[in-house]
Amino acid sequence: MATYENLLLDLQNGILTITINRADKLNALNIDTIKEIKNAMQQVYDDTAIKGAILTGAGPKAFVAGADITEIAELSEVTARSFAERGQEVFAMIERSTKPVIAAVNGFALGGGCELAMACHIRVAAENARFGQPEVNLGLIPGYGGTQRLTQLVGKGKAMELMMTADMIGAQEALQLGLVNHVVPQEQLMGKSVEILEKIMGKAPLAIGLVIECVNAVFNKDENGYQTEANAFARCCTSEDFVEGTSAFIEKRKPEFTGN
Instruction: Point out the residues that are catalytic.
Output: 115, 135
**196, 102 in Cβ contact below 8 A?**
yes
**Which residues is 132 bridged to in the sheet?**
110
Q: 78 to each of 74, 81, 86, 89, 146, how far by Cα in Å?
A: 11, 5, 13, 17, 20
* β-pairing verdict for 52-57 and 15-20: parallel
**123, 171 in Cβ contact below 8 A?**
no
Nearest alpha-carbon partner for 43 in 85, 9, 89? 9
